[in-house]
Chain A
């Protein structure tokens, strides 16, 4: 069974879980994800493998409450079990020496760049990370990112910590001084899109990590199909990392939003506060 060994609250409605999963920990690489299911009636959702410990046989997952399933996961505690956990899935990024790599993480995109930063640093790259969130409280994994990078920049929309504005503002400043060899950007679609428009102008390769709707996560259903370079790709098998320049982000957004009403309804069913609704 996949037991939660440790739970750490990172921010309101965001938790990190250390989960016992030796087979997954053994093979995990930067860019991999898992599919999980929590109850017999539950759906399968994808989550990035934020970190792993091969010796302990554990992986770290970070979850922000977004829909019903993520809400249930965040209500679990150390000692609880995850019903089903499949992984590691997807195609990892290529870890090698590129030179200078700038990683951008927005919100819960930050856990998705943590392992990439670690591995790229270990591979001898000069790692610069820029992490951002709406406000100070939501700026998660600062210490871990600090350790995984040679230089770390913080940004918040409201200016409560670091630079006031977006991660891409800092990237633009950095690129004005020096051209990085690789940029990696993980976060909301508008952020990744903005990153790509910057890197494209400077002809810098940029890897983004996509988060389309998935059902099985093994290439069986095609729900996660995205258009990359005019071709249909399955994010669960060929991705979720792709070179951003080639990605049709508008199509991704429209496909991501297909079940928004249903997700809202499912959340409401779980509405447990006393506000009278």
Chain B
């Protein structure tokens, strides 16, 4: 059996520029990798894909040299493949189910998806607005769930209006995921595709403030709420409001949305020589790698559990390690210390993991008298996000949980209010881009059925 192809990575300039790190397959690599696919009758890989891409089919078309056909095949199920090919955790999804994974050599499905999507983009993607024959749908939020629902509904002939609070489209794909992992040019192209389907995107509109939820209900046949989990959590430790302590959201928003890394832009950012990033999810890895690129000499991930429990994708952890990010594991911050108003150190305590409890998780507990200090000038808090309260406070109580998430059917995204649907992180809590897209896709189908029923077609 031939071995799995690996995407080449950016060379020397990697930690000094914001250029994309993973370079994508060469045509030869794509061919070699596609040839490895066994074209199984039992399509385990498809079951592993939250949006159900017919993976063996697109790989077969790719193998036969029909790139256009392969692209079309992917787009049947996924409106944003160039993004998914880059940010999906394939190792936990399609590639995990691949029969060859048993030998540790699953087909590099994500890299192949990316190859096809990138080829398509280079040809100039163009969707076609289908004839309008349906209803009107408001989509709240232009992140992965919102864009997916918009595209899917437009393809079914509905008039879709997306409302975005920020000045730029993409939600977390815009403000959260850095350029070196998802170039904004790719996002722009995917957004252009969604627009080419006839979707209208209105920026600078915050539902719940600029327009109320009730007004939307009156103006549209159906609403899909996809506002994500954009409210940063903090630790609640002393010193957390010192200048120089950023939420990962603020840090990444300044860099990604506001281009603080580019001197021709006005938004400032300050990064000390030594930086601590608290947390170990993908967002923490993004923040740590960003801090390095902004000139920090020493960046440490501070996490209270160990390498195995880290929520970040293995690939992202490896990328961070390769670039020189340090890992202070089994370490819990207890205070941020200052000297004349400037951050001086992160005071931490050493942790150990207890035996697994009934939930199977090993709880970290502090080791007595183990306090120590990590000298830092900047601290970035990346310990998760919750739901933004603005829309939550504006919707009827019956569809809102106590914590501000929305109550929606797992399969269809339907809330208890007819015509109001929700999907993505605002329902599930912070999860992955592809999970949000999967939910949006299922919701789009349910919304389509709802509108047809309503219009008696």
Stretch at the interface among A80-88, A110-118, A173-181, A187-195: A80-88
Contacts A220-B175, A237-B389 given; does A262 touch B167 at CB 8 Å: no
B253 and A86 within 8 A (CB): no
User: Which residue of chain B is the closest to A225 with respect to CB atoms?
Assistant: B241
Q: A263 on the interface (CB 8 Å rule)?
A: yes
Q: A27-B210, A237-B390 are in contact. Are A220 and B231 (CB under 8 A)?
A: yes
Q: Does A74 contact B (CB under 8 A)?
A: no
Q: Which of B210, B236, B250 is within 8 Å of A221, CB to CB?
A: B250
Asked whether any CB of chain B lies closer than 8 Å to the CB of A94, the reply is: no
Does the CB pair B230–A255 fall under 8 Å?
no
Contact assessment for A88 and B232 in the assembled complex, using a CB-CB cutoff below 8 Å: no
Tell me the minimal C-beta distance from B196 to chain A in angstroms. 23
Per a CB cutoff under 8 Å, which of A43, A222, A227, A255 touches B247? A222
State whether B210 touches A222 (Cβ < 8 A).
Answer: no
Interface with B: A100-108, A138-146, A211-219, which one?
A211-219
Instruction: Write the B204-239 contact mask toward A (1 if CB under 8 angstroms, else 0).
Output: 111001111000000000000000001110101000
Q: Which of B100-108, B258-266, B328-336 contacts A (4 or more CB under 8 A)?
A: B258-266
Interface check B270, CB cutoff 8 A:
yes
**In the complex the two chains form, is A266's CB within 8 Å of B388's CB?**
no
A37 x B209 contact (CB < 8 A): no
Which listed residue, A68, A226, A237, A259, touches B270 by the CB 8 Å rule? A259
Chain B 397-441 interface mask (CB, 8 Å, partner A; 1/0): 000000000000000000000000000000000000000000000
Tell whether B244 is near chain A: CB-to-CB under 8 Å: yes
A68 and B230 contact, CB distance less than 8 A: no
Min CB distance B382 to A, Å, is 12
Interface status of A89 (Cβ within 8 A of chain B):
yes
Residues of A within 8 A of B258 (CB): 43-44, 215
Q: Which B residues are in CB contact (< 8 Å) with A226?
A: 241
Q: Is B267 an interface residue (CB 8 A)?
A: yes
Closest to A45 in B: B266
How many residues on chain B are close to A (CB under 8 Å)?
Answer: 41
**A17-73: which residues lie under 8 A (CB-CB) from chain B?**
23-24, 27, 37, 41-44, 68-69
Flag whether B254 is at the interface (Cβ < 8 A): yes
B286 to chain A, nearest CB (A): 15
Give residues of chain A (184-234) contacting chain B, Cβ–Cβ below 8 Å.
215-216, 218-223, 225-227, 232
- Contact (A85, B204) CB under 8 Å given A24-B210, A43-B267, A221-B253: yes
A266 and B341: CB pair below 8 A?
no
Measured CB to CB, the closest approach of chain A to B215, in angstroms, equals 10
Contacts of B240 in A (CB 8 A): 232
Complex contact B206–A89 (CB within 8 A) = yes
Knowing A43-B267, A219-B231, A221-B250 are in contact, say whether A255-B241 is a contact too (CB < 8 A): yes
**Contact yes or no, A84 B203, CB < 8 A:** yes
Cα A218 to Cα B409 with chains together (Å): 27
**Bound-complex Cα distance A87 to B254 (A):** 20
Asked if residues A220 and B249 are in contact (CB atoms below 8 Å), the reply is: yes
List the A residue with the shortest CB-CB distance to B247.
A222
Does B268 sit at the interface, judged by CB under 8 A?
yes
Q: Judge whether A220 and B210 touch: CB under 8 Å.
A: no
Which residues of chain A are near B204, meaning CB under 8 Å?
84-86
B7 at the interface (CB under 8 A from A): no
Q: Is the CB of A23 within 8 A of B234?
A: no
Instruction: Please report the C-alpha to C-alpha distance between residue A259 and residue B240 in the assembled complex, in whole angstroms.
Output: 18
- Are B167's CB and A44's CB within 8 A? yes
Task: Please state if A41 and B243 are interface contacts (CB–CB under 8 Å).
Answer: no
Once the chains bind, are A41 and B259 in contact (CB under 8 Å)?
yes
A86–B166 Cα gap in the complex (Å)? 8
Contact assessment for B270 and A258 in the assembled complex, using a CB-CB cutoff below 8 Å? yes
Q: Does the CB pair B165–A86 fall under 8 Å?
A: yes
Q: How far is the CA of A218 from the CA of B249 in the complex (A)?
A: 12
For A38, the closest partner residue in chain B by CB is: B266
Bound together, the chains give a CA A263 to CA B269 distance in angstroms of 11
Contact partners of B231 in chain A: CB under 8 A: 219-220
Among residues of B, the one whose C-beta sits closest to the C-beta of A68 is B266
- The contact sample of 9 A-B pairs, CB cut-off 8 A, is A23-B211, A27-B209, A84-B204, A85-B204, A215-B253, A221-B250, A232-B241, A237-B390, A259-B270
Question: Interface on A for B, CB 8 Å cutoff?
Answer: 23-24, 27, 37, 41-44, 68-69, 83-89, 215-216, 218-223, 225-227, 232, 237, 251, 254-255, 257-259, 262-263, 266
Additional pairs, 12, CB under 8 Å, beyond known A37-B167, A218-B206, A219-B231: A43-B258, A43-B266, A44-B167, A83-B167, A215-B250, A218-B388, A219-B388, A219-B390, A220-B230, A223-B247, A232-B236, A262-B268
4 nearest CB pairs, A to B? A221-B250, A258-B243, A262-B268, A84-B167
